[in-house]
Structure 1
Amino acid sequence: MLQQIRKLFDQIGRGESVEVQTEKDVRMISAALMAEIATADQKVDERERSALVRLLREHYQLDEETARGMVEQALTERHEATSLYEFTQTVNDNFSERDKYLLVKQMWEVAFADGEIDAFEEHLIRRVSELIYLPHGLFTRARAEARDGGLTE
């Protein structure tokens, strides 16, 4: 999965025409960023894995098998990513402010899934929020809503 994302970025960088389904790429990037949160503390709790699958299913209307496959691929191939910039640039190019907010909220939901926020998880979410230019007020709102299980978007 991440190799496909890297190939996309290489094509863009060379100015080649890119034959890509944006929706699929956005889903893969969302899965990859959420997988980074799940693995930030060097362990993947089953509750975090379940949260990843649930969030992908709900947000992108995926079936269980597709969502599980994306999560497993993202978790398996996460070490191939060279930097957050690879992902956040695509987020900046393709996500509205609302979509960025929802992504950060989902990242917080994954972080909260195991009942504790690791310092690495918080740092990573904060860093992604900065790189995608999410206003601080929306960052804190996303955290509060994810922590409280809020359904407001």
Structure 2
Amino acid sequence: MIDKINAFFKKLNTPFQENDKEELSLEVACTVLLCEVMKADGTLQEEEQISLKAFIAKQFQLQNNQIDEIVNTALTLSDNATDFYQFTRKVNEHYTIEQRMEIVGYLWRLAYIDGELATLEEHIIRKIADLLHLRHSEYIQTKLANTPSS
């Protein structure tokens, strides 16, 4: 905890240009959003991690070592992020509405992997969908299309 606080203050004292040197990649931005939902219920299940890696591999045509690096980076960024804006901004810049809906659909699939939807998972997905500029009808459409049948 103290390390996170120290890192925060160090970043505040660093000139803006230095903070901006490392450009956030689209792959990492998407993965951070997915990790947020994975972590929302307090557990990182192996099935969720396998599904996440499969999605990233398919979405970005990456090799296993690249996927592991992106997931590790995304988890670190997720642990230190105060909001989702920097990640959703990157997705909004590069993805069409259909592609953003696909990402939100995958957020729903990740949330349901353990067989139940935690309230916090649903809240995070709603927040991300709003930041990705999905209309309410598109949000509901992605939820219905990706909710497992009982």
Which of the five TM-score ranges fits, normalised by the shorter chain?
0.7 to 0.9
Task: Check 1:117–1:96 CA distance in 2 against 1; reply closer, same or farther (3 A cut).
Answer: same
Partner of 1:129: 129
- Alignment coverage as a number of residue pairs: 134
Residue number in structure 1 paired with 2:64: 64
Contact 2:28–2:71 (8 Å) recurs in 1: no
Q: Residue 49 of structure 1 contacts residue 71 of structure 1 at CA under 8 Å; is this kept in 2? A: no
Q: Which moved more, 1:37-46 or 1:90-99?
A: 90-99
Whose Rg is larger? 2
Unpaired segments ≥5 residues, structure 1: 1-5
Question: 1: distance between equivalents of 2:42 and 2:64?
Answer: 25
1:80 aligns with 2:80: yes
- Backbone CA RMSD of aligned residues: 2.5
8 Å CA contact 2:38–2:48 kept in 1: the answer is yes
1:69 deviates by 2.7
Structure 2 partner of 1:3: none
In structure 2, stretches of 5+ residues that fail to align are: 1-10
- Structure 1 stretches of at least 4 aligned residues deviating more than 4 Å after TM superposition: none
Per the normalisation by structure 1, the TM-score is 0.76
Matches within 5 A, 1:1-153: 25-148=25-148
Percent identical among aligned pairs is 27
Q: Give SS of 1:42's match.
A: coil
Alpha-carbon distance change, 19 to 35 in structure 1, aligned in 2, over 3 angstroms: closer
Shift of 1:148: 4.0
Find the aligned partners of 1:112 and 1:132 in 2 and give their Cα distance: 21
Seen in structure 2, the aligned counterparts of structure 1 residues 77 and 139 have a Cα distance that, compared at 3 Å, is: same
1:32-56: per-residue Cα shift (whole Å, max 9, x none)?
0000110011211111111110110
